[in-house]
A and B are shown apart, each in its own frame.
Chain A
Amino acid sequence: MNTQQQEARERVIFKNVSKTYHGDHGSVKVVEDVSFNLAEGEFVSLIGPSGCGKTTMLQMLAGFVTPDTGSITLDGAAIKGPGSDRGVIFQEYGVFPWLTVQKNIEFGLSLSCNKRLGSNSKEIVSHYLKLMHLNGFENAYPKHLSGGMRQRLALARAYAVNPNILLMDEPFGALDAQTRLALQLQLMEVLTEEQKTVLLITHSVEEAIFLSNRILIISARPSQILRVVDVPFPYPRTPELTATPEFQKLRLELEELSMQQYAKQQELAAEEQ
């Protein structure tokens, strides 16, 4: 998370990326000619209306969706598929219902590709159990967890293998305001200790400003980058920042901008009905 490092190494490069889905009800152009970079240690957020194609963009970087045209490279190599170098926090959580909370967190650590972390996996698991306030539920199955707890479990599972790049799809969406803030602060703490590159999808302008180096405002479908906003506030950031006039001014400005796109997307959706 460096604002000053101009010469920081570019890790991810999206170059003229487009994607169209062909479904039973015709084709939908979801992403159109998107180009942006993620530099080492940079935190970038995507804000855009529901259904505009944010998840699609993130899944392309994760390696689950291939772009039709354009290219996405990670450290100079084209994305070939998913890999443990990129930790993904999915919008639908995807916690494994047949595993207890503890086994869910342990899952990644126990895979052969993460053997290097395996020796102290017990400590890692109990660390994230505590961090996500899931202690006491070690042996519970996900069916006994609330939505927010499942989301925290998904976070713990992804954090546990300590990926260098984090792709987070509305990771705090199901959480109450206090927990949300606590987890945001934790994330920033981890990021100051370790250089991680983060791509975050959120509907909260406030969250995006609070966390990011840079915000990409995404248009109604098909996704295009409408505006790139460099967030000027230095790290470490504290919750007091959100009360400052500068923060509020930026928030209002971006909210207005994104609201227009939300309205546009709604019109689009209404037309499709």
Chain B
Amino acid sequence: MSMLAGIASFSTLGAVWGVIWWLNLFDRGLLPAPWEVLNVLTVQMTEKELWLDILLSARRVVVGVFCGLAIALPVGFILGWYKSVRAFIDPVINFFRALPPIALIPLVIVYFGIGELARLSVLIYAAFFSSVIVIYEGIKMIPPIYIRVSKALGATDFEIFKRIVVPAALPHVLTAFRVSTGVCWTTLVAAELVAAERGLGAVIVNGQNFFQVPVIFVGIIMIGAVAVIMDQLLRYATAHLLTWQESI
């Protein structure tokens, strides 16, 4: 159903685009036709290894998200569980969270150059700060009644952690996953625009440098497409893991 709706709405978008092109509302040099872009897409895929750019970008995001979350999970747990630590750390976290990761790119370039390490460090930063707050708010919001019930049944601290805290926090962890994936994707593209030899951001920059507008379009469309696919995958995983949850 949602698949059909998706196809329908994108077809409409393509059609409107086609009509605008056909009516010549913009300079045709600036707005290529949809089929032109499609052509360039096939050429890029077969001859310019566009798939490699997609793969590289996606892999960078996945690695960044996993590393960021690996740090955010224990930190978020400690902040959510221990009030006193939270009061102390909260202001600092809020400062760094409010800071757009993109703003760090120049500094990171100075520190690490323009290599893989530079990009990865920005992504980990982005993933960590966008998810840590979701995780600790989630831990904080676990209804105390569940802890009480398990204590009254004789659960040890470790059992409470494993069998109450983990499942009760899972919805929030999955939300954190989605949020940080979104943020990382945005950050990555920005980083690739600034400095990268390959990757979807680099594809766009190349299109700009050689004034190949269709290539820029291909880059933009692929960035959107990958973002949507990643989000859908995460949504699917979430729905699958949280069958127990009351839907709103």
Q: Spell out A's residues near B (CB within 8 Å).
A: 62-64, 81-84, 86-88, 90, 92, 94, 96-99, 107-108, 111-114, 141-143, 157-158, 161
Bound together, the chains give a CA A235 to CA B36 distance in angstroms of: 90
Residues of A within 8 A of B170 (CB): 98
The chain A residue with its CB closest to the CB of B168 is A98
- B156 is contacted by which of A63, A112, A161 (Cβ under 8 Å)? A112
Provided the pairs A92-B145, A94-B145, A112-B159 are in contact, do residues A141 and B243 lie with their beta carbons within 8 angstroms?
A: yes
Q: How far is the CB of B193 from chain A (nearest CB, A)?
A: 42
- Scan B74-112; emit 1 where CB is below 8 A from any A CB, else 0: 000000000000000000000000000000000000000
- B246–A87 CB distance below 8 A: no
Q: Does B48 contact A (CB under 8 A)?
A: no
Q: How far is the CB of A102 from chain B (nearest CB, A)?
A: 13
Bound together, the chains give a CA A99 to CA B246 distance in angstroms of: 13
Bound together, the chains give a CA A103 to CA B160 distance in angstroms of: 15
Bound together, the chains give a CA A158 to CA B150 distance in angstroms of: 10
- A111–B152 CB distance below 8 A: no
Bound together, the chains give a CA A92 to CA B168 distance in angstroms of: 17
Q: Which 6 A-B pairs have the closest CB atoms?
A: A84-B154, A113-B154, A108-B153, A94-B145, A88-B152, A94-B149
Residues of A within 8 A of B246 (CB): 97, 143
The 8 listed contacts between A and B (C-beta, < 8 Å) are A94-B143, A96-B146, A97-B245, A107-B153, A113-B154, A141-B244, A157-B153, A161-B154
- A86 is contacted by which of B152, B167, B244 (Cβ under 8 Å)? B152
Residues of B within 8 A of A161 (CB): 153-154
Q: Does B155 contact A (CB under 8 A)?
A: yes
Bound together, the chains give a CA A107 to CA B152 distance in angstroms of: 12
Main DSSP-derived SS at the B contact region: helix
Residues of B within 8 A of A114 (CB): 153-154
Residues of B within 8 A of A64 (CB): 148, 151
Provided the pairs A64-B148, A94-B146, A94-B149 are in contact, do residues A143 and B244 lie with their beta carbons within 8 angstroms?
A: yes
Residues of B within 8 A of A111 (CB): 150, 153-156, 159
- Scan B152-177; emit 1 where CB is below 8 A from any A CB, else 0: 11111001000110011010000000
Bound together, the chains give a CA A142 to CA B149 distance in angstroms of: 16
Residues of A within 8 A of B154 (CB): 83-84, 108, 111, 113-114, 161
Residues of A within 8 A of B245 (CB): 97, 143
The chain A residue with its CB closest to the CB of B246 is A143
Residues of A within 8 A of B150 (CB): 107, 111
The chain B residue with its CB closest to the CB of A62 is B152
- A84–B152 CB distance below 8 A: yes
Bound together, the chains give a CA A243 to CA B159 distance in angstroms of: 48
The chain B residue with its CB closest to the CB of A107 is B153
Bound together, the chains give a CA A65 to CA B245 distance in angstroms of: 30
Most buried by A among B153, B164, B246: B153
Q: How far is the CB of A109 from chain B (nearest CB, A)?
A: 9
